[in-house]
């Protein structure tokens, strides 16, 4: 198969987020579309890197179970959470390296 080099490469993956609760961390998942960033962006602080890399997240619900659509306001709220940043960074790293979760 011929190697295709996209002008603006992106990929989608399922991210597992370890969400802190009163009973301990609970793994939850969401679908994320990432932009592949240039190598020099790996030097950015995690919050800035994740904000640049994430194009959208789906499979999000609020406290009442109502679906949250990806908007600037939702992005600001979600991407400010440290546990989200960590889970999204892990999903990005696995996606660009081709690693499978659990390896």
Domain ranges of the chain: 10-96
In which band, very low, low, confident or very high, does the pLDDT at 103 lie, cut at 50, 70 and 90? very low
In which band, very low, low, confident or very high, does the pLDDT at 99 lie, cut at 50, 70 and 90? low
Provide the mean pLDDT of the chain: 93
Does the pLDDT at position 10 exceed 70?
yes
Over residues 62-72, mean pLDDT: 95
Q: What is the pTM of this model?
A: 0.89
What does the chain look like in DSSP terms, one character per residue? -PPP--SS-EEEEEEEEEEEETTEEEEEEEEEEEEPPPGGGGGS-HHHHHHHHEEEEES-B-TTS-B----HHHHHHHHT-HHHHHHHHHHHHHHHHTPPTT-
pLDDT at 100: 60
pLDDT at 98: 83
Over residues 1-13, mean pLDDT: 91
């Amino acid at each position: 198969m011929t190697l295709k080099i996209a002008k603006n490469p992106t990929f989608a993956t399922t991210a597992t987020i370890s969400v802190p609760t009163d009973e301990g961390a609970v793994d939850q998942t969401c679908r994320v579309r990432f932009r592949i960033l240039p190598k020099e962006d790996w030097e950015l602080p995690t919050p800035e890197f994740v904000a640049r890399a994430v194009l959208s997240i789906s499979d999000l619900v609020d406290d009442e179970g109502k679906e949250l659509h990806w908007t600037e306001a939702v992005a600001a709220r979600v991407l400010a959470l440290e546990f989200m940043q960590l889970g999204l960074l892990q999903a990005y790293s696995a996606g660009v390296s081709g690693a499978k979760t659990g390896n």
